Amino acid sequence: MKKTLEQLNNLVELGVIEKYAIGGGIAHFYYIEPSVTYDLDIMIRIKSVSDNLAPLKKIYEWAGINNFEIKDEHIIIENIPVQFLLEYNPLIEEAVEKAAEVVIFDTKTVIMKPEYLMAIMLQTNRSKDRERLLLFLEQTNYDSSTFKEILIKFNLGENYAKFRKKYIDE
């Protein structure tokens, strides 16, 4: 994982991507007990897209130059399947912008804050997201006022009320 994180930082240094933040299952591991995940989800901001039909083209070119295998939607970087995802909505954009700089495996990296991960779980609302959200609420030291602000800003208050009614306030 250390070498993979170093390569991600290299993408920023080279200007291939402007900014990134670890999201998905690996980000969850940073805050709660591990669960099963297959890949490393990286939310990215790209400065400019020269090809609207292939916005990740420069990343795939970089992968080819560095002999990283491409398998389905993943680039295998130092034996870790990495999925690069563009910031696909305003919540993700803000989550990347406000991500926390941390050190993992003696390597500086950027990871989404728990309040944003929790909001994204509410937004996507898959069964695994609901399970992880329960764990976050139980195990994570998150800022409840920040979480509430995010819920309001991104119109997720009703989603959270329904979630609480079904899974917490039974």
Closest alpha carbon to 92 in 16, 25, 154, 161? 154
pLDDT digits (tens, 9 = 90+) for 39-92: 899 999 997 666 565 789 899 999 999 999 999 999 999 999 999 999 999 999
Q: Which residues, 6+ apart, have CB-to-CB distance to 1 below 8 Å?
A: 78, 80, 104, 105
pLDDT of amino acid 33: 76
Closest alpha carbon to 3 in 70, 66, 79, 60? 79
Q: What angle do CA 78, 89, 4 make, to 5 degrees?
A: 10
pLDDT of amino acid 122: 96
pLDDT category, 37, cuts 50, 70, 90?
confident
Rounded-to-integer distance, Cα 12 and Cα 115, Å: 25
pLDDT of amino acid 96: 97
pLDDT of amino acid 25: 85
Rounded-to-integer distance, Cα 138 and Cα 31, Å: 11
* Residue range 13-23: mean pLDDT, rounded: 95
- Output the CATH code of domain 2-112: 3.30.460
Instruction: Give me the helix-helix angle, 114-124 and 157-167, nearest 10°.
Output: 80
Domains of the chain by residue range: 2-112, 116-167
pLDDT of amino acid 119: 98
Task: Give first-to-last CA distance, the chain, whole Å.
Answer: 40
pLDDT of amino acid 159: 96
pLDDT of amino acid 38: 78
Contact 11, 111 (CB under 8 A): no
pLDDT of amino acid 23: 94
Closest alpha carbon to 114 in 98, 90, 93? 98
pLDDT category, 36, cuts 50, 70, 90?
low
pLDDT digits (tens, 9 = 90+) for 108-164: 999 999 999 999 999 999 998 999 999 999 999 999 999 999 999 999 999 999 999
Give the residue ranges of DSSP H helices in the chain. 2-13, 24-31, 57-65, 90-97, 114-124, 127-139, 144-153, 157-167
